[in-house]
Structure 1
Amino acid sequence: MQPVVSVWVRDPRIRKNDFWHAYIDYEICLHTDSVCFTKKVSSVRRRFSEFVWLRQKLQENSMLMVQLPELPPKNPFFSLNNAQQITDRMKGLQKFLEQALQSPLLLSDSLLHLFLQSQLSVSKMQACAAGRTHYSVAQAVKNCGLRRFHSEEDLKKDLSMSCDSDSDSSECRGPEPRIKALAFKKAASSALLDLKGTSQEENLSCTSEST
């Protein structure tokens, strides 16, 4: 059976650099059973300029051995207040990733994995892929935060109606408090280990901002 690699680009959000400048970033959700990926489920946020950078680097690294899919064209009249333009761009970005993930050659590129499964900046992705950091690509991916999701249909559901592990609603209490207590204890232990490691390693935690 062919491995499953599903990717969604969703949830556009306006970010402000300062009072005068703003941009939009998008959530990239990946769900896969492919051995090519360190994580089987991941969620990161990227902006359009980072997609442009990724395509350029993938083209350089592939040495023109593969025809890369196109990104949605740059629009000089693109507006952060135009919902249709944002939707069209979002769909174009998703199509780009879907097509790129079908290429075995591109799947072997570390930059693609860092782009999809870490929130490292462009400069740090380049350094990591080139081996100029004290952490590996796999470590960068593993240190990225995870937000659980299941399928495209689940993404469209009203989160207020769901009772998954991300919900803090009192109405979503499970029948097994002991299991929840054990899960909390495990999470606390992991957090303590992460805290100890921060004094020795560069911070790789995901933030919602892209640089």
Structure 2
Amino acid sequence: MQQVISVWVRDPRIQKNDFWHAYMDYEICLHTDSVFFTKKMSRVRRRFSEFVWLRQRLQANSMLMAQLPQLPPKNPFFSLNNAQQISERMAGLQRFLEQILQSPLLLSDSCLHLFLQSQLSMAKMEACAEGRTRYSVAQAVQCCGIRRFLSQEALQKDSNISGDSDSDSSDCRDSESQFKEDLALKQTSPDHEGTEQEQRVCSSPDSA
């Protein structure tokens, strides 16, 4: 039976570091029945520099045994207010992921799973993949909470209602807060108590 891995790059949002500095990130939605993934549905947000990091790690880890697709070229004149540039970049990022996910060799890479299904920073993804954190790759993936999986139409409706395309998606961006929220939900749920292992992950200072 053929296994399906569907990935979307969408919902570009401007995130502000401070009054003068801003960047754009994108929502990555994954839906799959593949045995390579223990989590079959996920949503995270990533920026372009994180895609660059992912390609570099996959290239290094595959020891040049896999021909990696190219990312959209970095444009020094890229504008956060240029709809055409944003649309072209999103399409290029989605093609990149679609081609990556066709390779069984790359699908076995921990960095790819952390990129797609956790909200850890680049440094913490690298540390986790190398076994230098108190939590495993599987724990980092499972502790990244998921809200409802929005269709493109529902996403557009939600965006129109909020009227704020620059709003921060803190539930995805702040992994430590998300870990603690997930744990609290499991502890208060009568049919799903958090395990001791999950509690250790969520309380770890390295899980931000």
Between structure 1 and structure 2, the one with the greater Rg is: 1
* Paired amino acid for 2:188: A
Q: Hey, what's the Cα distance between the residues in 2 that align with 1:202 and 1:10?
A: 31
Percent identical: 73
Paired residue secondary structure (1:134): coil
Q: What whole-Å deviation, never above 9, does each CA across 1:32-91 have from its counterpart, x for those lacking one? A: 001111200000000000000100110011111111011000001000110110111011
Corresponding residue to 1:202 among 201, 204, 207: 204
Match status 1:24 vs 2:20: no
Note the alpha carbon deviations across 1:132-158, whole angstroms, 9 max, x for none: 1111100000000102226556656x3
In structure 2, the residue matched to 1:9 is: 9
Tell me the SS of whatever aligns to 2:189.
Answer: helix
Label 1:199 to 1:114 Cα distance change in 2 as closer, same or farther (>3 A).
closer
Q: Is the 8 A contact 2:11 2:26 kept in 1?
A: yes
CA gap of 1:139–1:71, structure 2 versus 1, over 3 A, is same
- CA distance in 2 between counterparts of 1:22 and 1:59 reads 29
CA distance in 1: counterparts of 2:137 and 2:7, whole angstroms: 20
Cα distance in 1 for residues equivalent to 2:134 and 2:50? 23
Cα distance in structure 2, aligned partners of 1:31 and 1:205 = 24
Which amino acid is the alignment partner of residue 204 of structure 2? Answer: E
2 CA distance for matches of 1:8 and 1:205?
Answer: 26
The answer for unaligned runs of 5 or more in structure 1 is 161-184, 207-211
Q: Is 1:94 the equivalent of 2:94?
A: yes
Q: How many residues align?
A: 181
Is it true that 1:120 corresponds to 2:124 in the alignment? no
Q: 2:124–2:206: 8 Å Cα contact kept in structure 1? A: no
Judge conservation of contact 1:144–1:205 (CA < 8 Å) in 2: no
Alpha-carbon distance in structure 2 between the residues aligned to 1:63 and 1:40: 28
Name the CA distance, whole Å, in 2 between partners of 1:40 and 1:152.
Answer: 18
Q: What is the one-letter code of the residue matched to 2:18?
A: D
Correspondence for 2:83: 83
Checking the alignment, whether the CA contact within 8 Å between 2:5 and 2:34 is kept in structure 1 is yes
| 1:40-189 → structure 2 map (5 Å cutoff) | 40-149=40-149, 158-159=157-158, 188-189=188-189
In the aligned structure 2, how far is the partner of 1:101 from the partner of 1:143? 22
In structure 1, the partner of 2:170 is none
State the 1:188 CA deviation. 3.1
